[in-house]
Amino acid sequence: MKATLTKTKKASPHSGEVPKAEGFRVALYIRVSTERQANEGDSLEEQESELKKYCDFRKFAIHQIYIERGKSGGNTNRPEYQKLIKDIQKKRINAVVVKKLDRLSRSLLDFENLMNLMNENDVEFISIKENFDTTTAMGKAMLRVALVFAQLEREQTSERIADVMGHRASMGLFNGGRRLFGYSIVEKELVPYPKEKQIVEIIFSKFLETRSTSAVMHHLNENGFKYRDSKPWDERQIQKMLQQESYIGKVTWGKQVYTGIHQPIITPTTFEKVQQIFKSKTYTKDKNTTNALLAKKVYCSQCGSPLAPSFSTNRHQKKYFYYRCTGSKDKNKSCPNPHYSFPQLEARVIEIVLSLSEEKHFSRIENKLLKHNEQITAQIREHEKSLNHLESSLNQLKTKKDRYLDGLLSSQFLSEERELIKTKIAEMETEEKQLKAAIGKEQIIINQTKEDLISISEIKKLLINYRSDYPFNDSHAHRVALAKIIDQIGCSKDTLEIQFVMLPNKECFALNP
């Protein structure tokens, strides 16, 4: 393609600026490291001269010369290279010309990324020595070969990583990722987390009893057991956990299952019984067949029995709905308040929740929460103080051990003296392990205690969201919203004892204000 150069002011040989021209515009990229220039003499001047001769032969108009002095080609963090990228993106050039491919990049992966960018912007690539010239059929073929090698490099890297991960798994080691509920991660290994471990055990036990993930979910949510970040449980989480082999001390990688080094939470026998239930397909989903808003949340404060939704019909076939104390059916129990009206009880609970979104009503609870958080914060500080002391002791012990080791290497001792020093070092190593274990324990306690802190703003947010969504479109949506706020409600003749989801203690309210 013929190009006409416009004569303008003369540019300096290495300024990077050349007279602009119309037609097929190319960018010349020149790079040299100090080491390369010294050893091979492939100087900036020689590269520039050769590239200009090539462009003159091909009748290319030089748009810009990008000169990189003393920069490595191992990465793309180069000023002139980044300028070249911007000109490609702005479609200012038709091709990039280099003397050798390694002048532009020593990484095939970086080169492939650049080629993808150039293809998107219709920019050709020419490397004189390797005969990469995408303006010709042969050049395009050679480029495809280079990209095949780039793909090979990626795949080999992935294989190496997979091999390392597979080897770690075969040794029973945890390969990282999202923390499994029931465990903490201490020094890259799984360690049972007592607070969550208890919930995992309840999940497996309750499922064996009910054969229902839904029943397990309701049991957890109604009894104040929370998932991460104080979120309520759902059936999918529970089923996934029930089928998680990590709970019996296994490590899974790909399709392979290995014996892990971490402590199991569930026995293999219990786990197998759970899997048999899933295989038999006899587990069920609990269905709420009534529109009772407080179903499975209310209980009798007098006898402790659940209040079950029920109804009666008068002679005109009109139904009257109420919550009935299930303890009233027991001849051994004498319950003075066997019935609670649906409308009365549900309306009062809704009124309480709505009122708490107002500052004047919430302030009483907020004061209690502030005191609670102060107590938890004080406990955290005490444990942090203990942790700092342990870490200081560990550092002192390491320094002392290093001095013994240095003395053992640099000084002349009798064999008996050397044995005594070795014994002392072994004692210090044992003490070091004990300190590390104590530090790990303190870290776990601190993390667990921090989870007891209550977010006042989150509680307010839940209450405000409830008010903004009320009235709800259907009873199911209303029940879900209440489940995020209320765990249980104890009912007596005159009082409601409400255990809110995020509060540590029950709050008392009059049934008939």
Nearest to 383 by CA among 314, 439, 336: 439
Pairing of strands 339-341, 25-32: unpaired
- Alpha carbon distance, N-terminus to C-terminus of the chain: 93
Q: What is the DSSP letter of 247?
A: G
Nearest to 235 by CA among 245, 222, 246, 220: 220
Distance CA 329, CA 311 (A): 15
Distance CA 499, CA 505 (A): 7
Listing DSSP states for 356-376 in one string gives: HTSHHHHHHHHHHHHHHHHHH
- HSE-CB for 161 with a 13 A CA cutoff: 7
Contacts of 494-501 with C-beta under 8 Å, sequence gap 24+, read 495/301, 496/348, 496/349, 496/352, 497/301, 498/349, 498/352, 499/224, 500/459, 501/224, 501/226, 501/230, 501/232, 501/462
Burial code (b: 16+ CB inside 10 Å, e: under 16) for 243-258 equals ebbbbbbbbebeeeeb
Nearest to 480 by CA among 489, 469, 490, 491: 469
216 close to 210: Cβ distance less than 8 angstroms: yes
66 close to 17: Cβ distance less than 8 angstroms: no
Distances (CA, A) of 475 to 132, 139, 373, 496: 69, 69, 35, 22
By three-state DSSP, how is residue 336 classified? coil
By three-state DSSP, how is residue 184 classified? strand
Q: Is residue 305 flagged as an active site residue?
A: no
- HSE-CB for 184 with a 13 A CA cutoff: 16
Q: Which H/E stretch holds residue 329? A: none
By three-state DSSP, how is residue 412 classified? coil
Nearest to 436 by CA among 426, 446, 428, 424: 428
Catalytic residue among 15, 33, 214, 410: 33
Listing DSSP states for 197-245 in one string gives: HHHHHHHHHHHHHH--HHHHHHHHHHTT---GGGPPP-HHHHHHHHT-G
Which amino acids are annotated catalytic?
33
